[in-house]
Amino acid sequence: MLTSSEIVDLVRKKTETGSYYAASKLLNCRPQTLTGYTKSDRAMSDDIAIKAAEILGLDAGYVLACVTAERAKNTPSYETWVKICERLTPKKRREAA
């Protein structure tokens, strides 16, 4: 399961400089928004998650399930969302794990 922090890092790697600023331009948000995802327990918004999925070439459903699971931490639905993420995990990610 990808976390918001991991998604931000993957998007940063897609830019020339690897900066939060460059990634924020790709995701149409403020750099502070992205640093908030990496330095706190905040989960990415659905709109930004969908845009990140497009940039990374990942299925939007998988990325949305991951950030929804992250938001659901400490709730009864968390385990269910984690199972959904596992089912939707792209084959390449499963083999790398």
Q: Which residue has the tokens 């908030």?
A: 36
pLDDT in tens, 8-35: 999 999 999 999 999 999 999 999 999 9
Domain that includes residue 83, residue range? 4-96
CATH number, domain with residue 16: 1.10.260
Report the alpha-carbon distance of residue 67 to residue 16 in Å, rounded. Answer: 25
pLDDT in tens, 52-88: 999 999 999 999 999 999 999 999 999 999 999 999 9
Q: How many domains does the chain have?
A: 1
Joined together, the tokens standing for residue 50 give: 């969908």
